[in-house]
Structure 1
Amino acid sequence: MAPPPTIRLHPDDGVVIARATLLPGTPVADGVVATERVPAGHKVAIRPIAVGEPIRRYGQIIGFATSPIAPGQHVHVQNCGMGDFDKDYAWGVDAKPTANFVPPATFQGIRRPDGRVATRNYIGILTSVNCSAHVASLVADAFRKNPFTGDNPLADFPNVDGVVALTHKTGCGMTQNEPLALLRRTLGGYARHVNFANVVVMGLGCEVNQIGGLMQEQKLAGRLRAMDIQTMGGTRKTVEAGIAFVREALADANRVHRETVPASELMVALQCGGSDGYSGVSANPALGVASDLLVQHGGTVILSETPETYGAEHLLTRRAVSREVGEKLVALMRWWDEYTAREGAEMNANPSPGNKAGGLTTILEKSLGAMAKAGSTNLVDVVNYAEQVTKKGFVFMDTPGYDPVAATGQVAGGANLVCFTTGRGSVFGCKPAPSIKLATNTPMYTRMQEDMDVNCGTILDGDESVQECGQRIFDLILRVASGEPTRSESYDFGAAEFAPWVIGATM
């Protein structure tokens, strides 16, 4: 039996979501028919909504009517806008003990000498400044498989996943306070990342972000090799030295083996990009189920993208393990209000043109759907961008909403795997952490199947429950953590997406 043409998410909602494009006359609720064309994933009113009245989805306010809305009308940017309303933070009222699975699930991970567990085994080349980016890329290119000739310089090192250069556009022309500290914290997190067997950092020599300062501030002495082009004697000599380092490191890195380890060793970054009106209905809630399962097995999930949690933070503070943790989240929202005002922007500018074309109207609506990725367990900590995550469970990290910048911060914080939901069809990778792509709807999954790992559109199609899809995602997380390649890895995504948050003046 075919599913109904619309989805109602909560009894208090005044709108429903179109499963497919609705034409005038299509029944959308008891006694209500569409009075105009409503695109797939968009909202249609099922009762009259007066000017200024709240519009609810998920049982929560997503905006206010800017003109009278009749039953059957398309509800979107033409008649729904932002407005102020009181939020009840209700610190910790929904926090509850987490039920743990005994024995926990396991995967085949790589146990490092310090006891940490990796999901991949890379050799990393970091750069202190953009001026050394090309040199670092030349070194990595010497070990890249040629897709046309089949030549593979790593053929004799089957336990090494690759050599990756992570370059960026900053490191100089920056103020030596918060911007520099943030960059160094990001690079330090990558230098320590469990998925790197060995790391070299390359600089120019005269940049603001001096390698010596980076190593001292981040306590990296003994953890990585350092080279700067000016001291080494130029490009050729630095490339030769870099290649020699990698060749030396390969034999050591290849000695690893996978062993059975508990799922508590997993730290998963939760991401969404190219979101649509289905994101909060299918892929995000299903990922939320997988997140709950991982936490119940002792693992960690990291929700980020602060501007895409804006307006829904009061639902997370209810799950905070303490008022202090909840207040840290609210303080981040105030900082972003001030930051966007200072830059002459507004938080509601966040939904992209693609988001809006997919049915998302306001940042409130986007945030309510985005936070579903984090499931229902307690919020145990709130950390700054690229700060090391040390707590087990659900953690929030402050990041921008821009996916590469957000994921870079999460991986710097220790995430050894990424789950990325998308409705419009984002392509993405995040070396050294594998990235699983979750499609919100079947048409996009079918169109972009070579880039998507999981079709969550089965929920919309009526073929699978949110719980069943979430279990399927959790099972895939364990397989990918054990070495199964993802779609983005098959295309070698993950180096160009390295994007530290650039904050402050460029001088």
Structure 2
Amino acid sequence: MSVNTVKSFLQIHPDDNVLVALQDLPKGQIIVWNGKEIILQQDVHAKHKFFIDDLEVGGMVLMYGVLVGKATDFIPRGGLMTTANVHHASQDYAYRKVNYEWQVPDISQFEGRTFNGYHRTDGRVGTANYWLFIPTVFCENRNLDVIKEALYNTLGYAVTDKYKQFTEQLLEAYQHGEDISSFSAEGLAPAAPQKKRVFKNVDGIKFLNHQGGCGGTRQDSALLSQLLAAYADHPNVAGITVLSLGCQHLQTQSLLEDVKSRNPSFDKPVLIFEQQQSQSEEQLIKDAIRKTFMGLTEINKAERKPAPLSKLCVGVKCGGSDGFSGISANPAVGYTSDLLVTLGAKVLLAEFPELCGAEQNIIDRCVNEPTAGKFIRLMQEYDAQAHAVGSGFHMNPSPGNIKDGLITDAIKSTGAAKKAGTSPVVDVLDYTEPATKAGLSLVCTPGNDVEATTGKAASGATLILFTTGLGTPTGNPVCPVIKVATNTALATRMSDIIDIDTGAIIRGEKTIEEMGVEILEYCIRAASGEVIPKAVLLNQDDFIPWKRGVSL
């Protein structure tokens, strides 16, 4: 689908029986569609949908060419789709052998292109060069925080604390007897390092604070160990410091075994400090800082070097979605995905609760029956877990999603799946499984923004394209996250967190394909360290392990 003319409404797929408002449309306006007049029965705000024909109770609602809901009341032609007159519905799905073919995009302008990355000894290439601190248990979080403050402030990784400046100016105004009820300090510095980085080839020092490692089930600790091992093995990580209490469920030896099991050729420096074997907490912290500093001097010797685009592994994610997500940002990122796949790179699509309604299309794209079967099994097991506690994938849309036009989960999901483009599905990965095949892979994660990005990085994503219609500040400790806005109003209002604006698609000024090319160009620059995504500049290092419970 391409949008290249200014329109006030859009039919996404020829089979759809609803139209999407691209701008606010007043009640009573006459819409002419395929020779018939549609009189709007209510005000229709931008991003919302109205019906082309009358729909009886139980009638099927079609969007993106698939079933996304059923009418719970009679809906007249021109009626607004709401949660009161439509409920979630999606088609059944099963493996069926089809000869799937896709339209391979033209990659001539990207052939021979490279990015400047960090080459690891196992052949992978990182888009960043990080030192990583890993606690084996939540008891070490405070020690991590102390170390983080010391290293960040001294080595130039802390960002300018404009809010501290604001509070200091507020205090000064208060002490001088000024009215502070509407106080607004001017000229605060934007987010930026407080001082020049000491180690120019170390892009950051990252800390994986978490609440696990003990006190839960042994299965929880085992899964956390696999997750932490995946982060230690990540291509963007060059060295690791492990802090352990000593008595916790997740023993350091188990973590090291998981690292070696994941990557037998793992050869990064690993520093281990166990508090119960230390002389004192102070000594533990000083030793960890000193030896980590020495490690930083070593990984600083690495330099960026050219690598083919096939070495990229890009995760695609959406969060804070709106009614434009499936029309602008997601399909644009989908075209980027198709370009990357054609170039021999890896693309990762996660968020299984947000594939509800898109299953059959995905199954038909799987390269073989075992791949399709694994996807079906993981989807059904996950959905069964949700139903067992009185929930279900149909309860995924948030109040913000619904307010901005995503009335059912199937509407949200079919639009979300557009991020994966149209290429074949070459692999299906369970949580923390590494991506090893070039092409599009599915990764089993929740829809939760941070749990999903955490899992996507664990499977090896070295960049994440994150689309949003409402705005979200989510980032990741080891994988740069690039924010792609669905509309210009958001990109303007939240310019401090948005990197790319796809609103030109809605206005008809650019096609999806043109925007997809621009997004890939940005990815190449970000992978080379030439541009720093906003989430990275803000040290937005979100990390939430998934315990395999119900999380939508």
Fold match by TM threshold 0.5: yes
Confirm or deny: 8 A CA contact 1:45 1:71 kept in the other structure: yes
Deviation at residue 464 of structure 1 after TM alignment: 0.5
Q: Would you say 1:248 and 2:294 are equivalent positions?
A: yes
Match of 2:118 in 1: 110
Confirm or deny: 8 A CA contact 2:42 2:80 kept in the other structure: yes
Match of 1:229 in 2: 275
Distance in 2 between residues matched to 1:315 and 1:136, nearest whole Å: 45
Query: Larger deviation: 107-116 or 261-270?
Result: 107-116
Confirm or deny: 8 A CA contact 1:92 1:321 kept in the other structure: no
Q: 1:252 to 1:215 in 2, by over 3 A?
A: same
Confirm or deny: 8 A CA contact 1:189 1:413 kept in the other structure: yes
Query: Larger deviation: 34-43 or 99-108?
Result: 99-108
Candidates 336, 340, 351, aligned match of 1:305: 351
Deviation at residue 159 of structure 1 after TM alignment: 1.1
Candidates 17, 20, 25, aligned match of 2:23: 20
| 1:318 partner SS | helix
Match of 1:173 in 2: 215
Match of 1:133 in 2: 141
| 2:70 partner SS | strand
Q: Deviations over 1:335-380 (max 9, x none)?
A: 0121102222121111111111111011111110011001011100
Q: Would you say 1:11 and 2:17 are equivalent positions?
A: no
Deviation at residue 88 of structure 1 after TM alignment: 5.3
Match of 2:453 in 1: 407
Amino acid at match of 1:143: L
- TM-score computed with the length of structure 1 as normaliser: 0.95
Deviation at residue 16 of structure 1 after TM alignment: 0.7
Confirm or deny: 8 A CA contact 1:456 1:469 kept in the other structure: yes
Q: Would you say 1:490 and 2:537 are equivalent positions?
A: yes
Match of 2:503 in 1: 457
Amino acid at match of 1:189: A
Q: Deviations over 1:78-110 (max 9, x none)?
A: 111124643354344315696795744311111
Candidates 187, 204, 224, aligned match of 1:183: 224
Q: 1:233 to 1:352 in 2, by over 3 A?
A: farther
- TM-score computed with the length of structure 2 as normaliser: 0.87
Distance in 2 between residues matched to 1:391 and 1:97, nearest whole Å: 20
Q: Would you say 1:291 and 2:337 are equivalent positions?
A: yes
Match of 1:500 in 2: 545
Q: Deviations over 1:182-224 (max 9, x none)?
A: 2111101001111111111112111111111221233278642
Q: Deviations over 1:370-392 (max 9, x none)?
A: 11001011100001111111111
Amino acid at match of 1:187: L
Q: Deviations over 1:114-166 (max 9, x none)?
A: 32211001111011111111111221221214525998677331111111111
Q: 1:404 to 1:93 in 2, by over 3 A?
A: same
Q: Would you say 1:433 and 2:475 are equivalent positions?
A: no
Match of 2:202 in 1: 160
Match of 1:210 in 2: 251
Amino acid at match of 2:124: R
Confirm or deny: 8 A CA contact 2:91 2:357 kept in the other structure: no
Confirm or deny: 8 A CA contact 1:430 1:493 kept in the other structure: yes
Distance in 1 between residues matched to 2:352 and 2:193, nearest whole Å: 43
Amino acid at match of 1:448: M
Confirm or deny: 8 A CA contact 1:451 1:488 kept in the other structure: yes
Amino acid at match of 1:165: F
| Bigger-Rg structure (1/2) | 2
Distance in 1 between residues matched to 2:476 and 2:445, nearest whole Å: 16
Distance in 2 between residues matched to 1:424 and 1:151, nearest whole Å: 28
Candidates 54, 60, 67, aligned match of 2:73: 67
| 2:61 partner SS | strand
Q: Deviations over 1:256-285 (max 9, x none)?
A: 111111001100111100001110000000
Candidates 72, 79, 86, aligned match of 2:85: 79
Amino acid at match of 1:465: T
Equivalenced residues, count: 502
| 2:526 partner SS | helix
Q: Would you say 1:447 and 2:493 are equivalent positions?
A: yes
Distance in 2 between residues matched to 1:428 and 1:504, nearest whole Å: 21
Confirm or deny: 8 A CA contact 1:380 1:391 kept in the other structure: yes
Deviation at residue 444 of structure 1 after TM alignment: 1.0
Candidates 278, 281, 296, aligned match of 2:327: 281
| 2:260 partner SS | coil
Q: What runs of 5+ residues in structure 2 fail to find an aligned partner?
A: 166-191
Match of 2:310 in 1: 264
| 1:389 partner SS | coil
Distance in 2 between residues matched to 1:417 and 1:85, nearest whole Å: 33
Q: 1:335 to 1:29 in 2, by over 3 A?
A: farther
Q: 1:32 to 1:160 in 2, by over 3 A?
A: same
Distance in 2 between residues matched to 1:184 and 1:92, nearest whole Å: 39
Candidates 126, 130, 142, aligned match of 1:122: 130
Q: 1:129 to 1:439 in 2, by over 3 A?
A: same
Q: 1:222 to 1:467 in 2, by over 3 A?
A: closer
Deviation at residue 233 of structure 1 after TM alignment: 3.4
| 1:68 partner SS | coil
Q: Would you say 1:324 and 2:370 are equivalent positions?
A: yes
Q: Would you say 1:36 and 2:81 are equivalent positions?
A: no
Distance in 1 between residues matched to 2:208 and 2:408, nearest whole Å: 34
Distance in 2 between residues matched to 1:487 and 1:83, nearest whole Å: 37
Distance in 2 between residues matched to 1:400 and 1:504, nearest whole Å: 9
Amino acid at match of 1:339: Q
Percent sequence identity over aligned pairs: 35
